[in-house]
Amino acid sequence: MLSSYKKPFLLALLTVSLAACGDKKEAANPAPTLADATAPKSVEAIKQEVVRAALPKADKSTPAASYQELTSGNQLMYSYLSLAAMPIDYPKIAGVVSSDYARSSDEFHKNDLLKALKPKIDASVAQAGAQRYVRLKLDNPLNKYDFEQKGFPLDSSLWESGSTRYFFDNPVYKLSFSNGDGFRYLNVPAEDAARSIEGLRSKYQALQLVVYAFAQDADISQNLVRAEIVKVELVDKKGNVLATQ
């Protein structure tokens, strides 16, 4: 049984608690405070920053002509194999790149094919390892102009945590960006340029975002190539560059 002298204190505490609950209901989405902005980072966030800092970085002076265009999942596969530095499962890769090998039930025929395919697979992996600068094109990548950000929100596959891209011909191997958080918006501060782009976007004119990236490493748990975005360019259907970041 509680002592009588503790009751006023408990009543006061209950009153304060109820008032606090009432405040939370009235402000379901309170404005960020200084404390929020300076809150300690989570262990996972710190871990990700450490991993990202340790990744090899692109040479940003590399000319655009040196970037190989990514158009196939097989290209991603070879890039992954070169970065993973793991023994190559030749029968598995042969089944991907050769329909004849994949369909054949004659083990001698398959073995002959594999002998012929091995040097080609090795050459493709070596080429991917030597050519780590890549570019890919995203169709209709913009959302409507954001006046507060003075830019256009970009496709979430660039910046959203956990997002990946893949090609339909070989969807097993995927691509993600280690620094995508810096490309959530395509900044276009000049009003004339922004008006022109928004006019094209709102009329559903064909626009593409060309993403220039550097393949950094492979995540063997996800068949994933992690890349650093070097820059992006917005181009119209004629290939004219409308904005760069």
- Report residue 17: phi and psi, to 5°: -65, -45
Question: CA-to-CA distance for 141 and 155, rounded, in angstroms?
Answer: 5
Q: Which residue has the tokens 């800092």?
A: 53
Burial per residue of 38-75, b for 16 or more beta-carbon CB atoms within 10 angstroms, e otherwise: eeeeeeeeeeeeeeeeeeeebeeeeeeeebeebeebbb
The pLDDT value recorded for residue 74 is: 97
Tell me the CA distances in angstroms from 76 to 42, 91, 100, one per residue in order. 32, 18, 22
Count the neighbouring beta carbons within 10 Å of the beta carbon of residue 191. Answer: 9
- Report residue 87: phi and psi, to 5°: -55, 135
What is the pTM for the complete model shown?
0.78
Element (H, E) at 125: helix 107-130
Three-class SS of residue 230? strand
Q: Which residue has the tokens 């030749």?
A: 90
Question: CA-to-CA distance for 207 and 17, rounded, in angstroms?
Answer: 55
- Residues with Cβ within 8 Å of 71's Cβ and at least 6 positions away in sequence, in order, are 136, 167
Element (H, E) at 22: helix 7-26
Question: CA-to-CA distance for 243 and 182, rounded, in angstroms?
Answer: 16
Contact 217, 83 (CB under 8 A): yes
Give pLDDT tens digits along the chain (245 positions). Answer: 434 333 443 334 334 343 443 443 333 444 444 344 455 656 655 655 666 677 889 999 999 999 999 999 999 999 999 999 899 999 999 999 999 999 999 999 999 999 999 999 999 999 999 999 999 999 999 999 999 999 999 999 999 988 999 999 999 999 999 999 999 999 999 999 999 999 999 999 999 999 999 999 999 999 999 999 999 999 999 999 999 99
Contact 113, 104 (CB under 8 A): yes
Whether the CA torsion 199, 200, 203, 207 is positive or negative: it is negative
